[in-house]
Amino acid sequence: MASELRVDKIHNEGGDNDTGLDLSTNDQIVLKTANTTRLTMNATGQTTIVGEGGSTTTNLQGGLAKAWLQAADSASVRDSINIASGTDDGTGQYTYAFTNSFSNDDYAPTVTTVVAEVSATGNVLTSAFDIFTFLRTDSFAYEDQVNYASVHGDLA
């Protein structure tokens, strides 16, 4: 027979704000409101939440950018998540290495740039990806602009 616990609030009497649930490795946490599941987390940490509109679910890990960057002038990384370094490979050509590699090279880098009219990705490796920037009018590579990128995919 399954037990049921109904409470309005969980309070840690030790005085700090820590609370927790400790379930066996085969269980999952299910959060419901109005008798509808809103969040599920399984033993591996895989988390699914109700998406926009309330009729679909979104895999939280799968929907997050696994890397992003803002870089300028010769691949100098200004700010980033999961970007270890940038390399200037020549005029308008840059390589950005990941801190944590992707599980395969089928991830999706999205790149945009300031000043140059077109940016594209070149090599897409599990450990790094390339950005090429050039002007649409003459197809020449363009140097010294700000590059932005976000990368979606599965980490190794």
CA distances from 40 to 27, 34, 43, 62 (A): 11, 15, 10, 14
- Given a cut of 70, is residue 69 above it in pLDDT? yes
**pTM as predicted:** 0.70
CB 113 within 8 A of CB 136: no
pLDDT score at 129: 93
- pLDDT band with cut points at 50, 70 and 90 for residue 106: very high
pLDDT score at 23: 64
Residue 22 structural domain: 1-63
Q: What are the counts of helices (DSSP H) followed by strands (DSSP E) for the chain?
A: 1, 12
Same domain as 83, residue 38: no
Number of domains the chain contains: 2
Q: Write the CATH number for 88.
A: 2.60.40
pLDDT score at 66: 92
Q: How far apart are CA 149 and CA 156, in angstroms?
A: 20
**pLDDT per residue over 19-65, tens digit each?**
566 666 667 888 888 888 888 888 788 888 887 777 788 777 777 89
Those residues with Cβ within 8 angstroms of residue 150's Cβ, 6 or more apart along the chain or in another chain: 65, 67, 68, 109, 110
Same domain as 14, residue 82: no
CA distances from 155 to 11, 68, 147 (A): 36, 13, 22
- Given a cut of 70, is residue 11 above it in pLDDT? no
Same domain as 72, residue 35: no
- pLDDT band with cut points at 50, 70 and 90 for residue 125: very high
